[in-house]
Amino acid sequence: MRTILHRGLTLAAASVLVIAAAACGGGSSGTPGVTASTVVVGTHQPLTGPASPGYSKISVATKAYFDHVNAHGGVHGRKITYRVMDDGYNPANTQQVVRKLVLSDRVFAVLNGLGTPTHTGVLDFLKTNRVPDLFVASGSRSWNQPAKYPTTFGFNPDYTVEGKILATYIKGNLPNRKVCFFGQADDFGRDALAGVRQVLGAGTIATRQSYVPTNTDVAPQLSTLKAAGCQVVVSATVPGFTALAVATAARLGFRPQWVVSNVGGDKTTLAARLGAAGAPLLDGLVSAGYLPAVDEPANPWTVQFRKIAEEYAPDLEFDGNVIYGMSVGYLFVQALQAAGRDLTRTSIVDAVTANGFTGPGMVPLRFSAGDHSGYGGLRVNRVTGGKQAYVGPVYVTDDRSGPVREYTEAAPTPPANAIPVG
């Protein structure tokens, strides 16, 4: 009898606890996360864990940009609040933190949620709750499924587009080499490989190896690539693993031509990872980009973004991740402006679908009713003497068998204060 009493007591105590906790959360009518003076958006980012090198700075930069915009009056009188949740690049954590953002913090939208494996797991949840899922920080093709996920939009050029463009560079500049592939064991790696194969031909990849972000031992894979006599290694890797691969290869006495995805090819991030002794290994590294570069000091976007970073995030070392984070912030402000004074979840999705945005990107965004993928092209860059500079033309292409074309239109110059004119 006593056990029953205890059990009942436990149950009652537990119920009280949960109700008390529930009382803390409030509810309101209208569009979640939007008031006359604020708009709350959330994101999930790898502030810790295997993908944190480099990427942990992105949300800090976006936040700095929003602080800058808020200091200039916000958008339609609304200040932007950016709630950043750490998921450690762990899909299980992403499930938790995104639910917290949407159900508990009641964010208006999820912005720039980072990672292919992480964000893939929350697509269905965001769809069920009709949350705008804007500018996902990954180049997976999964974000471009307008019929299945009507509120999800990409940002990065997808990895297949990138694979095709990197392969075009290899074809033109590194002919007759033995090309191999090293990639993340998920849609990131798979999509990138599909693009490379599209241009070079399916049989031309001599060896391909993959890694999982939870295992930091990549020596077996790189030994295999070395043994296969690879001369060019196309690497679809996050920065931590690019650095790991380059360093491990060097230890094995393996010095291939590295051709790295833009998400894992930021020189400043990699150099910080490799340290002073390892940084020279990056010389000759080929990657790509679609945003202004740190090593283009004269680019007006770089100048403006650097100024904002110095004012609102003075401890942040200025690199490609910072430019990326600010570019995301810029596009979101454009979307908010286009959505109009009467901001709803429908109005922002309509505004993004209508597109017409121009900003720091070198190529157009592809958003339309039938296409939710982000930027449609890139420009190859190369590290020479410690500087990462763009080389050759800007290319655009699609994620299928379409041709890789040169894109000649110049990017616009930034408006005053780098705040879009609404």
Partner 1 sequence: MARVGLRHLTVTIAGASALVGLTYLLDPFRNYQLATAAAYLCATAGLTLLIGLNGQVSLGHGALMATGAYTVALLPSGMLLLSVAAAVLVATLAGAVVGVAAARLRGPYLAGVTLAVTMVVPAVTTMADAVFHGDQGLSVAAPPAPLWVAPERWQAWQAIAAAAVTLFVLANLLRSRFGREWRAVRDDEVAAQLAGIPVARTQVLAFVVSAACAGLGGAMFAVLAQSVSPSTFSLTLSLYLLLAVVVGGLGSLAGAAWGALLLVLLPDAIHSVTDGLPLGPDLAQRLTGNLPLAVFGLTLVLVVLAVPGGLQGLLVRAVRRLR
Spatial CA neighbour of 87 closest among 60, 117, 130, 127: 117
Q: CA-to-CA distance for 211 and 248, rounded, in angstroms?
A: 13
Selected binder of partner 1 within 214, 401, 408, 413 (CB under 8 A): 214
Q: Which is nearer to partner 1, 7 or 341 (CB)?
A: 7
Is 19 a binding residue for partner 1 by CB under 8 A? The answer is yes
Contact flags string 260-299 toward partner 1, x per CB under 8 A: ----------------------------------------
Q: Which is nearer to partner 1, 27 or 385 (CB)?
A: 27
Selected binder of partner 1 within 77, 124, 310, 358 (CB under 8 A): 124
CB of 188 to partner 1, least distance (A): 9
Stretch that binds partner 1, among 149-157, 170-178, 182-190, 358-366 (CB under 8 A): 182-190
Selected binder of partner 1 within 31, 62, 116, 321 (CB under 8 A): 116
CB of 12 to partner 1, least distance (A): 8
Is 60 a binding residue for partner 1 by CB under 8 A? The answer is yes
Spatial CA neighbour of 140 closest among 385, 317, 418, 374: 374
Q: CA-to-CA distance for 245 and 225, rounded, in angstroms?
A: 11
CB of 129 to partner 1, least distance (A): 8
Q: CA-to-CA distance for 360 and 331, rounded, in angstroms?
A: 9
Is 148 a binding residue for partner 1 by CB under 8 A? The answer is no
Would residue 40 be called left, alpha or beta, if left means φ above 0 and alpha means ψ between -120 and 50 degrees? beta
Stretch that binds partner 1, among 90-98, 194-202, 222-230, 274-282 (CB under 8 A): 90-98
Q: Which is nearer to partner 1, 17 or 369 (CB)?
A: 17
Q: Which is nearer to partner 1, 120 or 388 (CB)?
A: 120
DSSP state of 82: E
In the block, which residue shows the tokens 């190369």?
A: 382
Q: Which is nearer to partner 1, 44 or 306 (CB)?
A: 44
Selected binder of partner 1 within 73, 77, 104, 356 (CB under 8 A): 104
CB of 314 to partner 1, least distance (A): 11
Q: CA-to-CA distance for 342 and 340, rounded, in angstroms?
A: 5
Dihedral angle of Cα 148, 149, 153, 156, to the nearest 10 degrees:
-60
Q: How many CB atoms lie within 10 A of CB 5?
A: 9
Please say whether the dihedral angle defined by the alpha carbons of residues 71, 74, 77 and 82, taken in this order, is positive or negative: negative
Q: Which is nearer to partner 1, 56 or 268 (CB)?
A: 56
Is 219 a binding residue for partner 1 by CB under 8 A? The answer is no
Q: How many CB atoms lie within 10 A of CB 178?
A: 16
CB of 119 to partner 1, least distance (A): 10
The residues with which 232 forms a beta bridge, in sequence order, are 179, 257
Q: Which is nearer to partner 1, 106 or 164 (CB)?
A: 106
Stretch that binds partner 1, among 96-104, 218-226, 227-235, 285-293 (CB under 8 A): 96-104
State the greatest distance between any 2 C-alpha atoms of the chain, in Å, as a whole number.
83
CA 318 to chain centroid, in Å, comes to: 17
In the block, which residue shows the tokens 């915009």?
A: 69
Stretch that binds partner 1, among 123-131, 227-235, 334-342, 361-369 (CB under 8 A): 123-131
CA 258 to chain centroid, in Å, comes to: 21
91 close to 23: Cβ distance less than 8 angstroms: no
Spatial CA neighbour of 286 closest among 191, 404, 197, 196: 196
407 close to 394: Cβ distance less than 8 angstroms: yes
Is 47 a binding residue for partner 1 by CB under 8 A? The answer is yes
Is 100 a binding residue for partner 1 by CB under 8 A? The answer is yes
Is 389 a binding residue for partner 1 by CB under 8 A? The answer is no
Is 350 a binding residue for partner 1 by CB under 8 A? The answer is no
Is 185 a binding residue for partner 1 by CB under 8 A? The answer is yes
Q: CA-to-CA distance for 87 and 238, rounded, in angstroms?
A: 16
Selected binder of partner 1 within 212, 219, 389, 391 (CB under 8 A): 212
- Amino acid found at 256: P
CB of 128 to partner 1, least distance (A): 6
List, in order, residues 6 or more apart from 31 with CB less than 8 Å away. Answer: 108, 343, 344, 345
Q: CA-to-CA distance for 351 and 368, rounded, in angstroms?
A: 10
Q: Which residues bind partner 1 (CB under 8 A)?
A: 4, 6-11, 13-15, 17-19, 21-22, 25, 27, 47-49, 56, 60, 86, 88, 90-93, 95-96, 99-100, 103-104, 116-117, 120-121, 124-125, 128, 185-187, 210, 212-215, 313, 315
